[in-house]
Structure 1
Amino acid sequence: MNKKINVKRLVQTSLLVALQIILTRFCSIQTPIVRIGFGFVPVAIIATMYGPIWAGVANGIADIIGVVLFPTGAFFPGFTLTAILAGVVYGVFLHNKPVTWTRIIGAVLVIDIILNLGLDTYWLSILMGKGFIGLLPTRLLKEAIMIPLKIITIGVVWKKFIVKLPKFSQAI
């Protein structure tokens, strides 16, 4: 029985990783410095269903597969580290807990301010040879757009779709 559950979990996670790659690489607006998309939704679902470790690993794998199959620049392991940490943060905030607006807002703020605005801007400054502060205005604009978008999207997807899936409670 445990093996069957693990196979089911692996298949569901793999499908969500594939969905994340599609949403990130094909359904997003890409500029040299920022990408605005919906790849965060599958990660939040994985984190809610299976926890921080599964979400972190899945997000890291999705990042590596996305870079290998659809490169938009050079591979840099710092971005993969940020992706792993983002999955972990979603899992810490959303797994085995009631998914509330407060938890969603907390997860999004930690990810977007500390990881995306902080770490990713630092990685970009290393890659581009530009100053951290010089990259901040564009990154701040992106996060000003993404924070409310993520909060609303995750909340709506959760309230309208995920809780209505049959046997969702068994996945947790």
Structure 2
Amino acid sequence: MKSNTLKSNSFLTTRSLVTVSLLISISIVLARVLGLIIPIAGLPALKINFSSVPLIMVGIFYGPTAGFMAGAISDVLGYMINPMGGAYFPGFTLSTALAGMIPGLIYKLLKAKKNLIRQNFNYYNAVFIVFITGCLLYSFYLKEVLTFDNGIMYNGHRLGFVYVTLFISAIAIYVTLPFYFSKTTQSVNSAYSFDKIYFTVSTTQLITSLILNTYFLSIMFGKGFLVFLPTRIMTNYFMIPIFTVLLIALIRVLRLDK
């Protein structure tokens, strides 16, 4: 099959069920055994793991229904195996299920409208990066961590020209990286090119990690949304590119793009 087309795997075959079950198992191990918990404001509110990667693969190659079921099953079974010291919260099951479903919906749309495959999604990716950067700065401003009364102040300390320039340069580099990797990797005409995988991961993380999980944490711990948001945004600055690279590497190693 040519690289600019999409695979269409039926979920209800023996081979597909075995593959999806294996990916669910890998997701559980990554989340409940190999995952890390980092406190935010003294609360276990940030989990760093790669459990979303297998769920995204399920959604991409087996569709949104399979992705949703895989996410829900992995969260419930994972909690039964190792609750990691926390109470069960159904909202996290929903967001984990959506982590498998959203990629499936995106690739179902790509399959239905194949002219989208020829589009360069890096422009959408650039908008996303600028958007979450704006959200990060605005959340700092609302928490009065970042102020502009006497120049640009961070935690009461004036930020000099060098720091501001370095920050702007870092964001500019971050925005241009997807364009660079797209040129050095697979053609943007491929359904599994860097720009489309990055778009899929960033959209999924925006909805599940940054919006839903942050909201659920604020309910669970009785804290404001902004208490958790800045740290979660900064974490996703790193996790989204890592997820993207891992997915592309796995797709190529397993020859799923052929």
TM-score bracket for this pair, using the shorter chain length: 0.7 to 0.9
Contact 1:13/1:46 (CA < 8 Å) preserved in 2?
yes
What is the aligned residue count?
A: 161
Aligned equivalent of 1:48: 60
Say whether 1:128 aligns with 2:141.
Answer: no
More helix by share: 1
Q: CA RMSD in A?
A: 1.9
Counterpart position of 1:82: 95
Q: What corresponds to 1:162 in structure 2?
A: 254
- Shift in Å, 1:92: 2.0
Give the TM-score, by structure 1 length.
0.85
Gaps of 5+ in 1: none
1:98-113 to 2 correspondences below 5 Å: 98-113=191-206
Is 1:61 aligned to 2:63, yes or no? no
Give the structure with the larger strand fraction.
2
Shift of 1:45: 2.1
CA distance in 2, matches of 1:114, 1:42: 18
Q: Which amino acid aligns with 1:66?
A: G
Contact 1:24 1:38 in 2 (8 A): yes
Shift, 1:7, TM fit: 2.5
In the alignment, structure 1 residue 152 sits paired with structure 2 residue 159: no
Contact 1:41-1:154 at 8 Å conserved across structures:
yes
Q: What is aligned with 1:17?
A: 24
Question: Tell me, what secondary structure is at the counterpart of 1:35?
Answer: strand
| Offset of residue 138 of structure 1 | 1.7
| Identical-pair percentage | 34
Q: Which is higher, the Rg of structure 1 or of structure 2? A: 2
Q: Is the 8 A contact 1:121 1:132 kept in 2?
A: yes
* Corresponding position of 2:13: 6
Tell whether the 8 Å contact from 1:93 to 1:103 is kept in structure 2 after alignment. Answer: no
| Counterpart residue number, 1:139 | 232
Gaps of 5+ in 2: 1-11, 39-43, 112-190
SS at match of 2:87: coil
Cα distance, 1:148 vs structure 2? 1.4
**1:46–1:54 CA contact under 8 A, matched in 2:** yes
Using the TM superposition, give the Cα deviation of residue 30 of structure 1 relative to its aligned residue in structure 2, in angstroms. Answer: 1.8
2-structure distance, mates of 1:45, 1:151? 11
